[in-house]
Amino acid sequence: MKRYLVFWMLAIGAASASLSAIEFEFAGLRTYTLFGFLPAPAGADFQLRFADESPTSGASAAITLGAGGAYQHERIYRQGNGDLYEGDDIANDISTEEDITIEDVVGIDLLEFNLEPTFELETGTPLSLYFGTKSYFRSYIDEDPASRFASGVSSFPDVEGSFVNTIRFGAQFADIAETGSRGFRGFDASAAVEYGPEFFGNRVYGGANFLRLHGTARLYHPIFDLTPASTLNLLNISVAGQIVADWLTGTSVPIHEQSRSRGIYQYGSLGHLVRGFEVFSYPSLLKLAVNAELRILGPAVEFPWLEPILSHPLIQQIVELRWVAPIVTLFVDAGYYAGFRTGGYFATSLDGQSGTLVSTGASLSLQLFGVLYAGYMIGFPLVGERSDDGPGHGLALGFHF
């Protein structure tokens, strides 16, 4: 770990001396859900970026130091023996006559802090490369977090908490343009390898020894524009698609990692990729997902009375676009999951469950000043089940992809 810290201290020191620009960026808020539906600020993420704004060649380099932390609430949809939670399991796990919901059984409160230095190389073409490391510390606030996993002996390596360090390599081909108030046009594809070996400080608190391979491809294509010559959009229809593949292997894979998909972009488990299911549901070693949607952008409206406020230099760094527009999204999602590792170093075991998820649904949101999409989404499972046997719905911040 000392070598790891020394390496990045030297790299950032060299970057600050050789790269021409230093930028501080607020990457976003992390939220905690109050009353089951209301998001409240509970943490934040930041980035400090050292970049070369005027490269002498076509290539340019940057080092980004990302950091963040939050008080979070997550849910565990696997039992201690690896089985998925079902309604009968809840009754068996809790010996009481009171009404018990799955949120009572599997909700876990925790503190998380992460540090993520990344070196990026833009080649002067749509292709860019990156190398980085990530460290995160997760500590459960529950008095007995192991009991939250219920039913069976919980041998997850991070059942009491974790300190995990990984090395990441990746490449991205991105040829995407924002077409003013009309959304996106273009294609991108990325691939990533993430390695968290035990010798990289992964036996200090909890345990980790795993390898992740990840790939994502996205397509955005406008198909109709009512007023293409206008400055602001009146009515625009486009299609968007995404394919995600994420595979984990190793002798000690934290349940937190199995509940995530991570490459250039980060998602929750397959239940997050296939909308309408719970964000952390269906954690697995293998996740395959396909998303397809129709996007209908309505009339964009400007607010001239905001000009004195939005023209301030500090505000313009955050809000450069000055319109509000309604967006309707109709989607169909599908996914496949397989495999789940319940054991750590001394209790390795592999659950062989696999299955398919399919959903359909819609969202209605507002594009606020070109930087925020806020609205409401509802998704109906067609294949696969939610823990509450109902549709999934709630506030949606941003496009799904």
pLDDT confidence of 73, banded at 50, 70, 90?
confident
Q: Which of 77-81, 150-154, 211-215, 353-357 is predicted with the least confidence, judged by mean pLDDT?
A: 150-154
d(CA 379, CA 383): 12
Compute how many other C-beta atoms are within 10 angstroms of the C-beta atom of residue 177: 9
Q: pTM of the full predicted structure?
A: 0.84
d(CA 370, CA 266): 22
How many independent structural domains does the chain possess?
1
H helix or E strand, kind and range, residue 238? strand 236-252
d(CA 388, CA 105): 13
pLDDT confidence of 97, banded at 50, 70, 90?
very low
Give the per-residue pLDDT at 355.
92
Compute how many other C-beta atoms are within 10 angstroms of the C-beta atom of residue 219: 17
- Cβ(158)–Cβ(146) below 8 Å: no
The CATH number of the domain where 276 resides is what? 2.40.160
3-state secondary structure of 359: strand
Evaluate if residue 145 carries a pLDDT over 80: no
pLDDT confidence of 94, banded at 50, 70, 90?
very low
Could you tell me which of 38, 111, 105, 120 has the C-alpha nearest to residue 73?
Answer: 111
Task: Give me Rg for the CA atoms of the chain.
Answer: 22
Give the per-residue pLDDT at 111.
93
DSSP codes, 336-388: EEEEEE---SSS--EEEEEEEEEEEEEEEEEEETTTEEEEEEEEEEEES--TT
Which range of residues forms the domain containing residue 253?
2-397
3-state secondary structure of 214: strand
Compute how many other C-beta atoms are within 10 angstroms of the C-beta atom of residue 349: 12
State residue 102 phi and psi, 5-degree precision: -65, -25
Q: What is the pLDDT of residues 30-67, one digit of tens each?
A: 877 776 667 778 899 998 888 876 666 678 888 899 99
Give the per-residue pLDDT at 270.
94
- Cβ(209)–Cβ(198) below 8 Å: yes
Give the per-residue pLDDT at 314.
59
3-state secondary structure of 15: helix
